[in-house]
Structure 1
Amino acid sequence: MFQPLEVFIGLRYVRAKRSNNFISFISLSSMLGIALGITALITVLSVMNGFQKEVRERILSMTAHATISGSNGRLDDWREARAAAQHDPNVIASAPYIRAEALLSAGSATAGAFVQGVLPDEESTVSDIAQKIVAGHWDALQPGSYGIVLGRYLAQSLGVGLGDKVTVFAPQANVTPAGVLPRLKRFDVVGIFDSGMYEYDRGLAFVNIDDAARLYQMEGTVSGLRLKLSDLFRAPQIARDLANSLPGAYWVRDWTQEHANFFRAVQIEKTAMFVILMLIVAVAAFNLVSTLVMVVTDKQSDIAILRTLGITPRGIMAIFVVQGTVIGFIGTALGVIGGVALALNVKEAVAFLEQLFKIKFLSPEVYPITDLPSALMWSDVSSIAIVAFALSVLATLYPAWRAARTQPAEALRYE
């Protein structure tokens, strides 16, 4: 005979045809509920991971993996700091920059923005800004030419295009016999970039670092150094090691600190969605309680006979734990298979629904990301599967305990 006996009977109860079709329906509903909940949870978390990855890549295409700056906002000995940083094997490239606030004006239109002075060739080694140019040329930022590259939305708000003039007002002022006059300079628009991130496209402009130094009176100094690292995911650790190894007092920040609020908000939202959708799985899992309670009631005589044949209360409990565990395992397995399949093909599924219902889920006029990205993480899948299966096993304990308390004499009294 198949051993152990409790497993044999528990599996037989799962696959045997029951006279009570309602119990079979509830059991099937519990199984499908677990499967659908897991499928939804894996798909939603994969889409959130996809959005997070897409936004992170767009942010990192415009920002440096790490920056080195001085305590007063200026880096006077930047060449020495650069030489020291490049001795670190984790630093691939570096580029100096000047960053300051400014008021941009064109005709009657004005807009506030950050003006970033760069060396075009060196900036291309630490960011992908050169690939984001949609009009004009990045190399047109030559020293003394006073050219400026604007973000797409910044250019739209000022109403300017290639070849137009933009006046840049610096926060500093000149003291003259005629009074205090603002520092300003007219720049020619030589390029427009589109990063896909509204924050940058609306509030950032690039000029040559020499032109920025003249405008902001920073000749011979810079705001800091932008670094590209060998492993962006180790940026916090590399930044800490770099700060400890650099001679002098420097402030080293990595990209996770620059955008800490955004990534913290994404992580909180992901955690909240995990908890909310896991409640759906929990509801389906605890439907097993009602299923197994009805099975225990239906099998009272069988339990009594098994008890008279010598099976202990622990053995009776094991039978129904096996039955509920098998139902939970099948539901979990179906959910994992369905969730992985849907997460890997979510773009095709969304495209089919858009074509079927003639709608656009992510309009390009509103959202910078028009396709629904998905990034399946097996760590999420395993966590979901383990939690869902654990809830299913937990749901079997009370009905199995009730079955173990069945008294043979009471159950067989009217048989």
Structure 2
Amino acid sequence: MFHPLAIYIGLRYTRAKRRNHFISFISATSMVGITLGIVALIVVLSVMNGFHKEIQARILSMASHATLADPYGGMADWREVLEQVREHPHVVGAAPFVEVQGMLVNGSQVSGALIRGILPLEEDQVAELRRDMVAGSVDDLIDGAFHIVLGQDLANFLGVGIGDKVTVVTPQVSATPVGIMPRLKRFTVSGIFAVGMADYDRNAAFIQLADAARLLALGDAVSGVRLKLTDMWLAPRLARDIAQELGGVYRVLDWTQVHRNFFSALAMEKRMMSIILFLIVAVAAFNIVSTLVMVVTDKQADIAVLRTLGASPGRIMGIFMVQGTTIGLIGTIIGMILGVILAINVEPVVAGIERLLGVHFLDPAIYYISALPSDVHLSDVLTVGAAAFLMSVLATIYPAWRAARTQPAEALRYE
């Protein structure tokens, strides 16, 4: 059967039992190093993808994809705006809201909070507050009842539960006979929710829309309208298009702007971890250099015989590039397979290690999540495999070039 000479000899050198066992050990070490580096990189990237996805889902369970607000104050025509935006083909849901930064007081306990007035049934279209309720019901937010729903951590800090009273203090002021006084109102705690993120569980509270409007003296106006879109990744463009269709008089804010710093930090962390872990693959790949340098030294006589029989320097170079590339290719394929298997099963593996060692790696009181999520992206796996294989190929060039420069007479002088 016909075989290209460089490939045939290169693969034969790879399979052959060498006289120098140290060379075989270095070759195996290089292959294992590439495999472990790829496994580590795929698993870490998958876990970070899962972490990002989990955090993003929790954020968007409370935050809308986009918000329309009147830049000059309250939005008085919000009912007309709701009717218009709901007719847009890319709008899944829309809900009005009133929002203010205020303080919640219970005895000596005082905490700042983002207080949002909502209509419970309308809010279901843009957020998942109802799903996150751990006590009480969001339906208890009734016009005139002055009920409030608190985040779990916020309720714990204030020391209140269902049926207890808290005082809501807003930045707005009222003129009284004794002077200017902040506007405040007693509310009854009717529900407690837990999202799993401190930004909401510790700092958010919900009241009924009309109660919030009365508290802020907005009359029949609201702060704005929250939107849920068909594709959250297109939120910046779709929100601008919707605002333009409404006459361009509303201020547009989408989720990528509200949480820009947080998601940018996560993306930067993923890039830096990728670079750090790629160094493991690079070290293993460049071990191929030392392996092939020793092989070239060991095969000086063989190279000389091949050159004497008419093999060109390019063909000699190809032989050793095939040998080094084979080591890199095998390590890359095994690493990709093992990496994907481990990434898919990382949660039960970590749970087993926790049970075995009696520890808990992700304390929910410290981290956003209590379990280790994983989301394997084919693009990440292919990118890691391609980069590792490319580094392996590049690592073969120098020793293969040295082999091609071997002079037959010099190599055979002492044979």
Distance 2:368 2:400 in 1: 53
1:258-407 aligned at under 5 Å gives the runs 258-407=258-407
Q: Indicate conservation of the 8 Å contact 2:55/2:368, yes or no.
A: no
Please say if 1:44 is aligned against 2:44: yes
Distance 2:298 2:178 in 1: 100
Distance 1:223 1:23 in 2: 72
Q: Indicate conservation of the 8 Å contact 1:67/1:227, yes or no.
A: yes
Distance 1:31 1:323 in 2: 12
CA-CA distance at 1:76 after TM superposition: 2.5
> Counterpart amino acid of 1:141?
L
DSSP 3-state at the match of 2:102: strand
DSSP 3-state at the match of 2:393: helix
Aligned CA distance change for structure 1 residues 275 and 407 (closer, same or farther; 3 Å): same
Distance 1:75 1:226 in 2: 12
Distance 1:171 1:83 in 2: 32
2:172 corresponds in structure 1 to 172
> Counterpart amino acid of 2:286?
F
Q: Deviation string for 1:107-161 (max 9, x for gaps)?
A: 1111111110001111112110011111111100000000000111111111111
2:89 corresponds in structure 1 to 89
DSSP 3-state at the match of 1:257: helix
Q: Deviation string for 1:220-274 (max 9, x for gaps)?
A: 1111101111122222232232232222411222211111111100000000000
2:136 corresponds in structure 1 to 136
TM-score, with length taken from structure 2: 0.98
DSSP 3-state at the match of 1:131: coil
1:192 corresponds in structure 2 to 192
1:162 corresponds in structure 2 to 162
1:26-41 aligned at under 5 Å gives the runs 26-41=26-41
> Counterpart amino acid of 1:50?
G
Please say if 1:122 is aligned against 2:147: no
Q: Indicate conservation of the 8 Å contact 1:242/1:252, yes or no.
A: no
CA-CA distance at 1:175 after TM superposition: 1.1
CA-CA distance at 1:73 after TM superposition: 4.5
CA-CA distance at 1:310 after TM superposition: 0.3
Q: Deviation string for 1:292-333 (max 9, x for gaps)?
A: 000000000000000000000010001001111111000100
> Counterpart amino acid of 1:275?
I
DSSP 3-state at the match of 1:396: helix
CA-CA distance at 1:14 after TM superposition: 0.4
Please say if 1:103 is aligned against 2:103: yes
Q: Deviation string for 1:361-408 (max 9, x for gaps)?
A: 112333341111000001000110111000000000000000000000
Please say if 1:17 is aligned against 2:31: no
DSSP 3-state at the match of 2:125: helix
1:69 corresponds in structure 2 to 69
Q: Indicate conservation of the 8 Å contact 2:321/2:397, yes or no.
A: yes
Aligned CA distance change for structure 1 residues 41 and 338 (closer, same or farther; 3 Å): same
1:221 corresponds in structure 2 to 221
DSSP 3-state at the match of 2:72: coil
Deviates more, 1:171-180 or 1:242-251: 242-251
1:206 corresponds in structure 2 to 206
> Counterpart amino acid of 2:5?
L
Distance 1:288 1:228 in 2: 53
DSSP 3-state at the match of 1:161: coil
Distance 1:282 1:243 in 2: 50
Matched residue count: 415
Distance 2:75 2:2 in 1: 78
Over aligned residue pairs, what C-alpha RMSD do you find? Answer: 1.1
Q: Indicate conservation of the 8 Å contact 2:68/2:226, yes or no.
A: yes
> Counterpart amino acid of 2:143?
P
Aligned CA distance change for structure 1 residues 73 and 44 (closer, same or farther; 3 Å): farther
Q: Indicate conservation of the 8 Å contact 1:38/1:335, yes or no.
A: yes
Distance 2:310 2:344 in 1: 51
> Counterpart amino acid of 1:203?
N
Unaligned runs of 5+ in 2: none
TM-score, with length taken from structure 1: 0.98
Distance 2:73 2:396 in 1: 63
Q: Deviation string for 1:189-222 (max 9, x for gaps)?
A: 1111111111101111100010001110111111
Distance 1:386 1:84 in 2: 49
Distance 2:227 2:298 in 1: 70
> Counterpart amino acid of 1:144?
G
CA-CA distance at 1:178 after TM superposition: 2.5
1:231 corresponds in structure 2 to 231
1:54 corresponds in structure 2 to 54
